Amino acid sequence: MKLLIPMIALLVCACDRETKGSAAAPPPTAVPEATSAKQSTPTSKAPLVLPLPKDQKELDRLILAGYTPHGNHLHPPGVLECPLAKDKEAVM
């Protein structure tokens, strides 16, 4: 019990002081090597053509997600030309 009161007083005094290094820390200016390497790697893309699913409910879910049925396959959202078409017909 005798040590409890001085310990509490020390903790209160220590919490009130600012640390020397935290207030004057400069912001980082150089880009770390790991982040620059991560940005240069190619990102994976969705395939341009998906086969029609055999399940009608799965087909409905894909259409609701934005996929476009075209012939016997599907195109993801944003694909405007079919890579399988010989005359580059538009995907509607």
All structural domains of the chain with their residue ranges: 46-92
Region 56-81 average pLDDT: 89
Q: In angstroms, how far is the first alpha carbon of the chain from the final one?
A: 81
What is the pTM (predicted TM-score) of this model?
0.46
Q: What is the pLDDT of residue 55?
A: 92
Write the pLDDT tens digit of every residue in 9-67. 877 877 666 665 555 566 666 656 655 555 555 676 667 788 898 999 999 999 999 98
Q: Collect all residues with Cβ–Cβ distance below 8 Å to 88 and sequence separation of at least 6.
A: 81, 82
